[in-house]
Amino acid sequence: MSEMLGQSLASAAEQLRDGSLSPVELTRASLERVEQTEGKLNAYVRMSADYAMTAARQAEDEIKSGRYLGEMHGIPVAIKDLYDIAGLPTTCSSEVRHDHVAQHDSACVARLKTAGAIVIGKTHTHEFAYGISTPTTGNPWNPDYIPGGSSGGSGATVASRGCFMAMGSDTGGSIRIPAAVCGIVGLKPTYGRVSRAGVASLSWSLDHVGPLTRTVRDAAISLKWLAGYDPRDPGSANEPVGDYLSALDAGVKGLRIGVPQNFFFDHVDPQIEAATRKAIEHYESLGASIVEVNLPYADQIMGVEFGLCLPEASAYHQQMLRERADLYGEDVRAVLEAGELIPAVDYIQALRVRQMMKQAWSELYSKIDAMIAPSVVAPATRRGQENIDWGNGHEEPIKSAFVRLSAPANVTGLPSVAVPCGFSTEGLPLSFQVIGRPFDEAGILRIAQAYESAHDWHTRAPDL
């Protein structure tokens, strides 16, 4: 692997800015790296090599002539194949959409292109983002294991150094789950912080979009270019965009970090629990105060998540399910059919309980600045594995197990960032998440940075 790919986005951006690195060299190296790893990972639906090299040459000319646009200029990135890119198919990794060609760039793609980023290809998603395993794709740390989902292709390519940032979406954890099991950073911003215009929907009430990156600073840089109000997205928040970088290294002294006493540590792999608790100790050693908290409405979190997601997803797919049912994968088809059978009053009850949860979490956060919890219940599982065996006869389907710890931030809409925090005895990544206040992405990134800057997990690359 070329050395220039082993650095962070921030570091590459510095070199591109001062001219010591060319966007053409960097993009060529990315494309070669993807070619090298695709046989094992199958992270991409399609590559856009010709487009990428043309864009890279343009970026090189612009930078050389003094028209440097900013940190994303000349940086190779990948886009989850839920996002529209004008002139390209948006397949959502499904046969159902094999003939769907986008007319316009999605909002995020447009922003990234305006920032000068180089789109090298479209990554696999679990079909229509409706799952956590992305069965097409392998985990870079061991391709016999899942890369997580639904943004599994994005997680795999960033972790394997195929590009510096990849876009994902997160309805029940689909940015943070692949980030966690691929050993990278995954940022789910506050609901409405980043425009979803031009992104195929799974559940309008729960969909978030955001970046997967190698480092916390890279996530902050990415968010800087992605965040902003967009009236084309009905869920878009007309909130001022924060400064995600200037206080990134401010540390955590004096911050109150909540540690949940219920829900987040129930049925969690002991290695993940141990790594998360070690991270909490680290924060305490840095001067943060640790506050024990109890999640309100813990027993209702999954009910709200699926009570919203199932009917909304089925509503989106209503016509396609009747016209092209046989083209869906069986797992997705079954839940889409199920969503159609849920009474409206159940859906509305979920919306009402969600509102009550929002109020209760607001009161919870009067005592804390952020919460630390494991990102996922277990390291990556084997491809094809259906259940996690917790012992004592208790098995849990992985498709709900992996959503369990990420659902709270989807249901509450709060920002959450997944941070790598070690490796299991099997060599698979471990991860914790930082959950913050609405629109306090700067706060959670600062907390994440305080951990990352004292550890080197983010510098380790899979041996591919």
Partner 1 sequence: MDRTKLTKTDIASMSKAASLDLNDDRQEILLAIMSDTFGLLDTLKAIKPGETAPAFAFQAKWEKSS
Catalytic sites, residue numbers: 80, 150, 174
Instruction: Mark the segment that binds partner 1 (CB under 8 A) among 57-65, 96-104, 208-216, 350-358.
Output: 350-358
Output the smallest distance, CB 32 to partner 1, in A. Answer: 38
Are the CB atoms for 38 and 44 separated by under 8 Å?
A: yes
Question: SS3 of 94, please?
Answer: coil
By beta-carbon proximity to partner 1, the closer residue of 67 and 352 is 352
Which x/- pattern, by CB under 8 A, does the window 285-304 give for partner 1?
A: ------------x-xx-xxx
Give the dihedral of Cα atoms 248, 253, 258, 264; nearest 10 deg. 60
> For residues 90 and 412, which CB has a smaller minimum distance to partner 1 in the complex?
412
Alpha-carbon distance of 280 to 373, in angstroms, equals: 9
Q: Considering only 77-85, 131-139, 348-356, 421-429, which stretch makes contact with partner 1 by CB under 8 A?
A: 348-356
Residue 164 contacts partner 1 per CB under 8 A: no
Binders of partner 1 in range 23-42 (CB under 8 A)? none
b/e 13-29 (16+ beta carbons within 10 angstroms → b): bebbbeeebbbbbbbbb
Contacting range for partner 1; rule: CB under 8 A; set: 214-222, 354-362, 414-422, 442-450: 354-362
Nearest of 226, 192, 224 to residue 207 by alpha carbon? 192
The correct pick among 11, 142, 204, 290 for binding partner 1 (CB under 8 A) is: 204
Q: In angstroms, what is the minimal distance from the CB of 238 to partner 1?
A: 9
Among 114, 246, 262, 355, binds partner 1 (CB under 8 A): 355
Q: One-letter amino acid identity for 170?
A: D
Of the pair 31, 364, the CB lying nearest partner 1 is at: 364
Question: Binding residue for partner 1 (CB under 8 A) from 307, 408, 420, 429?
Answer: 307
CB 426 within 8 A of CB 414: no
310 touches partner 1 by CB under 8 A: yes
According to the binding rule CB under 8 A, does residue 85 interact with partner 1? no
CB 110 within 8 Å of CB 232? no
Q: Which stretch binds partner 1 (CB under 8 A): 285-293, 331-339, 362-370, 439-447?
A: 331-339
- 162 and 138 in contact (C-beta within 8 Å)? no
Closest CA to 369 of 434, 322, 272: 434
Strands, DSSP E only, in 48-189? 76-80, 118-123, 165-170, 185-188
67/232 with CB nearer partner 1: 232
Mark the segment that binds partner 1 (CB under 8 A) among 66-74, 178-186, 332-340, 363-371: 332-340
CA distances from 80 to 12, 30, 130, 188, 293 (A): 22, 17, 13, 14, 36
- Is the sign of the CA dihedral 13, 81, 232, 236 positive or negative? negative
* 8 Å CB contact between 321 and 328: yes
Contacting positions for partner 1 (CB under 8 A): 204-205, 230-232, 234-235, 297, 299-300, 302-304, 306-307, 310, 321-322, 334-335, 337-338, 340-342, 346, 348-356, 358
